[in-house]
Chain A
Amino acid sequence: MAYLEGNSLVAAYGPVPILHECSVSVEKGELAVIVGPNGAGKSTAMKVLLGMLNPSEGSVIFDGQDITHLSTQERISLGLAFVPQTNNVFTSMTVHENLEMGGFLREDDISHTIQEVYDLFPILYEKRKQNAGELSGGQRQQVAFGRAMMTKPTVMLLDEPTAGVSPIVMDEIFSNILDLKNSGRAVLMVEQNAQQALNIADKGFVLVSGRNTHTGTGKELIADPEVRKKFLGG
């Protein structure tokens, strides 16, 4: 049993079915990527894992516990964290305040966790008194990761972390994501840039119209001729 898994999830927005028996999972210290064409239900799968959308069938298991019916808040307090694709920082607040808000629910001393974030992303320490809205795209994404790390999550869910950034910044963000994974967390992300994402991923899920079509390690999927042809542009 994996650390976080969604089993045979079926979900719909109103009358429109999005997911059909879709399964994804991720282990601690592992980076898993969900790829697939537009409208395949990648973000929906993530929303179901987070409890922002209720599945009609299937289950979400976290650390051996069934969390299918818990609210988003409850899941976050268990150790899930989510970094949305857009608007993922408080632009009018300083970097430091962003991190503080990430740890809003915590009653204990959060300064150690803040220090951990600064250790992981040293540039943020330099910019800690600047408003997050004034930072570059890559630095903002670091703030977003840092904010999500403040609850000391064991699983981080990232929704298209490299959407709309330049290739150089993309590399920077991917290396940050590897840092997150190497710190022992489970990282599950949805990505548009399938080639690069699968390159660094331990595990990949290819979704098409809400169904799993291919599953395997990142290398296997890149090597698979069908996946290459359909999703990686040859």
Chain B
Amino acid sequence: MVSESVDILNAFALLTNFIIVPAIAYGSQLALGALAVTLIYSILRFSNFGQGDSMAFGAVMVILMLALFQSDWANANFGAILPPFEFLSFVPTALYALPFAVVFTAIYLLVMDKLVYQHYRRIKAKPITVCMVSMGLMFVTGGIVRIINGPERMTFDDGARFLFSVRDFKEFTGLTQGIAIKTSQFLTVTMAILLVAFLFYFLNKTKTGKSMRAYSDNEDLALLSGIDPDRVVRVTWLIVATFTAIAGTLYGLDKGFLPFQYHQLLLPIFASVIVGGIGSPMGAIVGAFVVSFSELFLTYAYKKFLIYLLPGYVPDSLVQLIGVEYKYAISFVILVVVLLIRPTGIFKGKVV
């Protein structure tokens, strides 16, 4: 009896460790990216295809700053990262560089807005034209990222730090299955909660935030009320840059840095936005978790879980619904199902 209930606990520890914890972290990263896309959509009125590559840009700025901190430019092997102060060693070093990365990303996006997007706002171009422009810019950003940091995969030492490890957990609980939480995962969730709280406070309580909502709701009336569209656009890019740089860095810490992988994030991000309802910040967050949990639940191999849960039964396959290589296909299927059943998304977004 006793061992059976322990086995059930083990089974759920397994699920927590391999699905729930990673899904929450990944969902938070997606949510930040999706919020940026939804903000751009509601205020600048186009779907930004450059979001994934902009996130890579943010991450690269962190890497660049860290390399400068180490002043080891000549042998710049951006991977080896040392904490500047011994007593702060539990804090990932990337965090020190993050403010700089946010500033650089903001500058980059604002300059690109001035050089590229502003023109299309002036001539009131169709949203789809601006969408295409964003694709052009996506490749420019991708190129810059690869020029600065190369196209190869890179992992951060910070990514391997643990808040508590599998061993700690096992010793503490006596279970055979452990749960580990990486510092980066903990950090991701904390930062995401803080940023989302800030965003909702800003949009609903401050004058500038409300003016952004007003501009998104009814541009002409916003102009009649004396709201300055240029300021709204600037503030939007600043918020977008903050979210983008932080999301990019957190994703990199968690999963390693690979420019092409950021490019591929576009699909899950768009899926999150559309599932939640395009233009709705709450929807972007909910959508992100729908996507991340579906991805992990469907690609997890349940063999070990079943062995714990059903003693005496040993499945002859991995019991995996969908191969990991198709994880992005899951985003796509979710996207298609939502478009078929409820094109407005969970929180009624804009469809036209």
Whether A90 contacts B226 by the Cβ 8 Å rule is no
B residues 82-125 in Cβ contact with A at 8 Å: none
Distance between Cα atoms of A91 and B214 in the complex (Å): 9
Complex CA gap A77/B210 in Å reads 20
Could you tell me if B211 and A104 are in contact, using CB atoms closer than 8 angstroms? yes
Q: Is A33 an interface residue (CB 8 A)?
A: no
B168 at interface, CB cutoff 8 A: no
**B220 close to A101 (CB less than 8 A):** no
Q: In the complex, which residue of chain B has the Cβ closest to the Cβ of A151? A: B226
Q: Let me know if B218 and A91 touch, CB within 8 A.
A: yes
Given contacts A84-B220, A88-B221, A102-B225, 7 further A-B contacts (CB under 8 A): A76-B226, A84-B224, A87-B221, A92-B216, A101-B214, A104-B211, A104-B225
B contact set with A: CB distance below 8 Å? 207, 210-211, 213-214, 216-218, 220-227
Please, what's the 1-or-0 string for A104-120, where 1 marks a CB less than 8 Å from any CB in chain B?
11000000000000000
- Please judge, given known A-B contacts A77-B226, A104-B225, A147-B225, whether A90 and B207 are in contact too, CB under 8 Å: no
Residues of A within 8 A of B (CB): 72-73, 76-77, 82, 84, 87-93, 97, 100-102, 104-105, 147, 151
**A87 CA to B217 CA, complexed, in Å:** 10
Docked pose: A91 CA to B224 CA in angstroms = 15
A90 touches B221 (CB 8 A): yes
Task: State how many angstroms separate the Cβ of A122 from the closest Cβ of chain B.
Answer: 23
The residue in chain B whose Cβ has the minimal distance to the Cβ of A76 is B226
CB distance from A83 to the nearest CB of B (A): 9
| B-chain residues with CB within 8 Å of residue A82 when the two chains form the complex | 224
Q: Which residue of B lies closest to A147 (CB)?
A: B225
CA distance A205 to B220 in the complex (A): 28
- Assess whether A100 is in contact with B207, with CB atoms less than 8 Å apart: yes
Q: Which residues of A contact B207 (CB under 8 A)?
A: 100, 104
CB-based contact B226/A92 at 8 Å: no
Known A-B contacts A100-B210, A104-B207; A73 and B221 likewise in contact (beta carbons under 8 Å):
no
A72, A73, A87: the one contacting B218 at CB < 8 Å is A87
Closest to A105 in B: B226
Closest 7 CB pairs of A and B: A105-B226, A90-B217, A101-B214, A92-B217, A104-B225, A101-B225, A90-B214
CA distance A151 to B225 in the complex (A): 9
Cα A209 to Cα B225 in complex, Å, equals 31
Residue in chain B with minimal CB distance to A91: B217
Chain B residues near A97: list those with CB within 8 A.
210, 213-214
Complex-state Cα separation, A24 to B223, whole angstroms? 25
* Distance between Cα atoms of A89 and B226 in the complex (Å): 14
In the bound assembly, the distance between CA atoms of A88 and B213 in angstroms comes to: 15
User: Which residues of B have CB within 8 Å of A76?
Assistant: 224, 226
CA distance A91 to B217 in the complex (A): 7
Pick from B213, B222, B227: contact of A92, CB under 8 Å: B213
A104-B227 contact given A93-B210, A97-B210, CB 8 Å threshold: yes
7 residue pairs of the A-B complex, CB under 8 angstroms, read A84-B220, A87-B221, A90-B217, A92-B213, A100-B207, A101-B225, A104-B226
Q: How many whole Å from B277's CB to the nearest CB in chain A? A: 12
- Minimum CB distance partner of A144 in chain B: B221
Q: Chain A contacts of B211 at CB under 8 A?
A: 101, 104
| Given known A-B contacts A100-B207, A104-B207, A89 and B221 have beta carbons under 8 A apart | yes
CA–CA, A31 to B221, complex, Å?
A: 24
